[in-house]
A and B are shown apart, each in its own frame.
Chain A
């Protein structure tokens, strides 16, 4: 079992991780070091000041207007429209001078009863008392979502382009081959929790918003920089908001969305705009979804200590109760046979294997009996020139590259303590003879920048490319150059080309040993 103690110590302050080459993570000290990289996509910077934030609060603009007296009927109707039954009851109870006494007293009693019931419900599922913004922040895969400049990021699964969702509720699409960067804005596009491109399609982008699900169709050949909101399909279902997680079927036909409020996850047929709710008792909602790359399983975690693994042929599920907390994050191996997941308030990575029995046409695949611990990420102290720092603890999210060779783990750290930074730990993974995680190193950014969100490029030719969004609004790409063991044909097509450092990197050049070739 791998632990953090085996890792090389983190870089001293001021060093930035550059890439992995020859089995070694390279870094640079100076930001002004220019690096020529052949195929690396552009790094971006979104300063917080450049974004125009709207100061609009979530509720209504009632406070801005002067109060004037309306009749009770009008006020009741308005309360019913704005706040539903509880709003109406509240209004009647408050205006006890105008209504008969029995009415105000009885509505007060009903209101108290409702509150008592909802508090009971809330004590069963505490997350239901959160506001929708807080709920997204709580269950998002992004670290400290509400304060994040880049709120969501997605690489296109085939083409070389990506979408970035920003704090001001706009989405920008970057394509290195085209000069235009379309900006997507929509009236309903608020509090974006996740974006994902549709596989086997050039144009469709699904966006999980506060009240609904949007599917944008952005024509890649169009020169327009502001596609109209007519290009977006709105998918919504009552009671299914806020949407915190979405997942496309790898074959591109279905989209699954989940909300921590709704106990059902919805499988959308996007073209027909129809959704099938899949409901199971227990859990109190669905927070995080991850579809395995081979399309056979879906991980669906709930706000309570329980997660489910759905099998996508007949849509049956296995229940996996956890001991301590809810399942925080999970990722699948490329062949869909292995699931790695982490549990809130635990510092280990668990592994589950799913084996389909070949030749048997039953729809159910037999799962394992219990999860195995594959890595221990408990807090470890490293001494660096700047003093001791402690790395480890709870895990925010995980990402596994599509060749199954590198696993990136985002550790939460403690934002208040300077010696416990949030950091990305990268593992090498090996599937045979036994599955194991080997230490690779830590990925660090500029001083003061904290990693918030990360994703692997889905088809990087020379290894793996990890894209990291930082707290200061920068998006950088960290390539890992290696020869793939499972895709030998790729290594002959393109020889891995480590970046040519112009200067200041002479000390790395004498360590060029391809140990991966030997192993």
Chain B
């Protein structure tokens, strides 16, 4: 009847919107893989709606005294109510592009605040509020009784029928908006949009079944907290929306107001609010869960294809692509699995191209994996250099050289320095803050060594550095100002004055508690941000090491042998960098585990997983090859390190 048509309409609409979003990825293949998964997950959540509604109806109507009446009422309601409910599937997946496989990690409170106030996030919150109101309205209609409509006719003293405000429904609608809003806020704070991949591969049904109790528990407890917060909020601020609604809809206030202690201590009301909040959250969480399960499902890419049309879908091509990150992750996951489990597909990787006899597959795969590892190594080294110099902009190594040269009065011999000094004399010392519009071009140029797109970019210009900046550079200020006085250029003086002002403002601000609180770096965040996309590196390491292990017996043409030295040396380099990173403060402190939450906290421990995987990967190669590794050409230092692994002393 009405219900089924609604569902099908809805499903179609969702799939269309999803595919539109996917088409932005401008790869047809991308839309084929990812889109259908999104559509399937949405379809499943639509299908799960009727049973969820049934459970909700049952609980909302439940009464101890009349069990049979409860059941019969529920059944009669179900037939009529599911039609309404099929309308209201709330899909934050509307904004599919928000989902990402790399978490965004705010390094300080202010960054988190900025994320929350981002226009896109505001729109998202608004959408959630509206959805919450709609769901709450539907809940009210289903529960019937006193939640059915916003107004009711009330007899007046003069006999005229007037419409009065039904505050019970208002409170329910406001709760819907509140829950929607808090859900979207929590989503940002807890990275709900981050999709993590599981190490244990399971069929979708089993994963869903396994996660269902967790989802139920989370929604129940979260609903409890939301209702508590909402009730407190309504107690203090409830009169504002009530007055506004009364004014807008021209309703009268008849009964005693609910925002009093006696009004809010109505247990039936609280129970209904809690049940409704649980219902909203459960719906949202289920959708989220299904989406995560469907998207992270293993996709098997062909290793090679005999038709050129299919080349874009082959593993080496997909691996090398940058843009749809999800696809790259899926390809890496597939690589790690095939290297571990599939003999036939490993053979394809080791095979030679038919005319020519080149090992294209292996070369492409190993090159991509090695570049991933090298990228991480470089990132870690740059970060370490920044930290090691304790706030000085060491990543701009030439910058600090310049500094030292200016201090040792070698300034006049250096053309470059002189020129930059003349150009913008004192900017560099005062603004280690690279994004400042006042940064000298020289500094900015040097800073671009660091890719601004990389996720750790934000960490370099930490407020920590900003605060320390003036103190560290104070000696040089003196030097430079005497130099400027000697020049006697008032032009420079004004500039100096201006920048001194900026410094003073910064100094002043840094002493205020709130500002410090907002700008202080969260201790582990920079470390987490460095390893945010490490799942890719973990798979690359696993894939490479398993392939190398298999090559010992399966690689008939010796294609792996040629790359073995570079694989070993890049792994050892990474090992060195990771070891050095874990010696930094906060890097090896474990985050507290949160078991009962929908929050994906996997990204917090990725660095530990990477460290363990790296070690295991090297051991896998050394155990397989044993003393044969002595014939591999690598540097003496690496050979020493490798010997440690051969003796099981790492």
List A residues at the B interface (Cβ < 8 Å): 156, 158-159, 200-203, 220-221, 237, 251-254, 267, 269-274, 276-279, 313-316, 358-359, 361
Contacts and interface: CB of A to CB of B under 8 A. Distances in A.
B648 A220 contact: yes
A201 B198 CA distance: 22
Contacts of A313: 201, 341
A489 to B, nearest CB: 12
25 contacts: A200-B623, A220-B648, A251-B616, A252-B616, A252-B619, A253-B199, A254-B200, A267-B200, A269-B609, A271-B608, A271-B611, A272-B199, A272-B606, A274-B593, A274-B605, A276-B199, A277-B210, A278-B200, A278-B202, A278-B210, A314-B201, A314-B202, A314-B203, A315-B202, A361-B300
Interface stretch (B72-80, B125-133, B342-350, B553-561): B342-350
Contacts of B345: 361
Contacts of A316: 203, 206
A201 B202 contact: no
Interface in B6-22: none
B616 A158 contact: no
A50 to B, nearest CB: 30
A276 B609 contact: no
A276 B300 CA distance: 23
Contact of B590 (A158, A220, A251, A273): A273
A281 to B, nearest CB: 11
Contacts of B341: 313
A198 to B, nearest CB: 8
Given A220-B649, A252-B619, A271-B609, A361 B340 contact: no
A201 B210 contact: no
Given A202-B649, A271-B612, A276-B210, A315 B619 contact: no
Contacts of B649: 202, 220-221
A201 B619 contact: yes
A208 to B, nearest CB: 20
A200, A220, A221, A277 pick with most chain B CB within 10 angstroms: A200
Contacts of A252: 616, 619-620
A203 B648 CA distance: 9
A220, A252, A316, A358 pick with most chain B CB within 10 angstroms: A252
Contacts of B647: 159
Nearest to B646: A158
B615 interface: yes
B613 interface: yes
B569 interface: no
Interface string B597-619: 00000100110110111011001
Contacts of A253: 199, 542, 612-613, 616
A251 B542 CA distance: 10
Contacts of A220: 648-650
Contact of B623 (A158, A203, A267): A158
Contacts of B546: 251
Contacts of A273: 590, 593, 605, 608
A63 to B, nearest CB: 34
Contacts of B201: 313-315
B344 A359 contact: yes
Contacts of B342: 361
B542, B602, B649 pick with most chain A CB within 10 angstroms: B649
Contacts of A279: 209-210
Nearest to B202: A315
A278 B207 CA distance: 9
Given A253-B199, A254-B199, A315 B206 contact: yes
A253 B199 CA distance: 9
Contact of A272 (B542, B595, B609, B616): B609
Nearest to B201: A314
Contacts of B198: 276
Contact of A270 (B203, B206, B344, B612): B612
A85 B542 CA distance: 47
A267 B210 CA distance: 13
A295 B390 CA distance: 47
* Leading 6 A-B pairs by shortest Cβ distance: A271-B612, A159-B648, A272-B605, A200-B619, A202-B648, A271-B609
Nearest to A272: B605
B616 A201 contact: yes
A156, A267, A274, A279 pick with most chain B CB within 10 angstroms: A274
A251 B623 CA distance: 11
Interface string B319-358: 0000000000000000000001111110000000000000
Interface in B512-548: 542, 546
A272 B620 CA distance: 20
A292 to B, nearest CB: 14
Contacts of B619: 158, 200-202, 252
Given A254-B199, A278-B210, A359-B343, 20 more contacts: A200-B619, A201-B615, A201-B616, A202-B619, A203-B650, A220-B650, A251-B340, A252-B620, A253-B612, A267-B199, A271-B605, A271-B612, A272-B609, A273-B605, A273-B608, A274-B593, A274-B602, A277-B210, A313-B341, A315-B206
Contacts of B343: 358-359
Nearest to B612: A271
A276 B200 contact: yes
Contacts of B344: 359, 361
A314 B342 CA distance: 13
Interface string B606-649: 10110111011001100100000000000000000000000111
